[in-house]
Amino acid sequence: MLRISFAALLIFFSTQITHAQKPADSSHYAMRQLKVEEINFVSSYYHQNGNNSAVTGGIGSERLSDLGTTLEVRLSTYDQRRRKHTLSTEMGIDVYTSASSDKIDPSTISSASTSDVRVYPSISYSINNEQKRNTYTIVGSVSSEYDYLSKGLATGWSKLSKDKNRELALKAQAFLDTWTVILPIELRSTNKRNKKEPRNSYSTSFTLSQVINKRMQVLLLADVAYQSGQLATLYHRTYFNNATHRVENLPDHRFKLPLALRMHYFAGDHLILRAYYRYYQDSWGLQAHTFDLETPIKLSPFVSISPFYRYYTQRGIQYFAPYRQHNINEVYYTSDYDLSTLNSQLIGMGLRLAPPGGLLGIAKVNALELRYAHYTRSTGMSANTLAIAVKLK
């Protein structure tokens, strides 16, 4: 019911804006009406299982289920200088359950939750000048759940070359987050109330895309990111080799440097090769490599399938050790297997339908896509994802 109501509300507002944009004197101001350009609906179900929960010190169930839904409505118009103005609003809602989170306080349904809801709306505004071949964008976002609040702001700029075969894009963003400190039940002070701790993230990204020839296009990407504040998760336990335990402790700052290369190759009318490689390194000592390959195959002018595969490997951070392997004299410590040495594989298939007359006799339903993926990790964790995406134009 919430999804339908939200969609109806956005469409209603877009209709009102359309009427409101009519100029009083059209002979002096030729502003076009604001219109709904595109509506995107995406819903996915994710389920995982494993036995390395960080909440219980690197052992115990990692079972988690998440149902996520996002709805985006994109509105656009042109001003008297023929610049395109685009306003995009997006609402995301995740409902999840986590077996490990209930172990924060096994005697009750506790805080950071055996189940929770995350809500994350965002809004973006861009101006595209086709004559000057540049685009300016600003984005604002909020994400909220039981113990976490995040506020984000981003701005971007991109420039096309004269022949439109090259594009340079720059983006800067900041997320100002607040954690509610929730400790494991046995490590809480009886006279100490939960307090809030900051976690701030800043990043800049640079992308350069280039059309090599009629068949090949490449994109280079470089990011520089910095985090500061409460970076450890304080309901993650760490057990030491002397049978004592504490909450996870990690440095209060972190530099990140990802570099990536993406290539699209049009092998023919019915086959596209999409290859992607990413290298990652940070100041905690984590290094990672990601290899990704997707091959959309057109079965007909309106139906295509997309098998895909991803391999990921990482060398863990210097502060990780398994259950009861840490020394009590260590300054920083964690038993979160997300930060350990591991490798993982993701394999799946997508199906896309885009008939010219619309789907199910509805002309506005431009495309429907279904995707399934199976994930396995060397630590023993596995997961499955099923997603559906619908585009209205």
| pLDDT of 329 above 60 | yes
pLDDT confidence band for 13 (50 / 70 / 90): very low
Mean of pLDDT values over 101-109: 69
pLDDT at res. 25: 43
Domain ranges of the chain: 256-318+341-384
Residue 321's pLDDT band (cuts 50, 70, 90): very high
The residue type of 11 is I
- The mean per-residue pLDDT over the stretch 309-329 comes to 97
pLDDT at residue 107, rounded to an integer = 62
Share of the chain above pLDDT 90, in %: 76
Q: Would you place residue 192 in the very low, low, confident or very high pLDDT band (cuts 50, 70, 90)?
A: low
More confident residue, 102 or 229: 229
Q: Which two tokens stand for residue 105?
A: 């306080």
- Residue 36 pLDDT greater than 60, yes or no: yes
pLDDT of residue 147: 87
Q: What does the alpha-carbon distance between residue 370 and residue 385 come to, in Å, rounded to a whole number?
A: 11
> How large a percentage of the chain has pLDDT more than 70?
89
For position 28, what pLDDT does the model report?
45
pLDDT at 123 over 90: yes
According to the model, what pLDDT value does residue 32 have?
A: 65
Helix (H, G, I), strand (E, B) or coil at 102: helix
Instruction: Quick: pLDDT tens for 225-236.
Output: 999 999 999 999
Mean pLDDT score across all residues of the chain: 89
Range in 25-39, 71-85, 193-207, 373-387 the model is least confident about? 25-39
Asked if pLDDT for residue 22 goes beyond 60, the answer is no
- pLDDT value at residue 112: 42
| pLDDT at residue 188, rounded to an integer | 84
Evaluate if residue 4 carries a pLDDT over 90. Answer: no
Confidence of residue 305 (pLDDT cuts 50, 70, 90): very high
CA-to-CA separations, 302 to 116, 215, 294, 298, 367, in angstroms, rounded: 39, 21, 19, 8, 9
Give Dmax over CA atoms of the chain in angstroms: 83
Give the model's pLDDT for residue 371: 98
Task: Give the CA distances from residue 218 to residues 206, 268, 388, in Å, rounded to whole numbers and listed in that order.
Answer: 14, 17, 28
Burial class (CB in 10 A: 0-12, 13-18, 19+), 84: middle
132-168 pLDDT, tens digit per residue, is: 999 999 999 999 998 899 999 999 999 999 999 999 9
- Rounded to an integer, the average pLDDT of 313-332 is 97
Give the model's confidence band at 7: pLDDT under 50 very low, under 70 low, under 90 confident, else very high: very low
Is residue 51's pLDDT more than 50? yes
pLDDT number for residue 191: 52
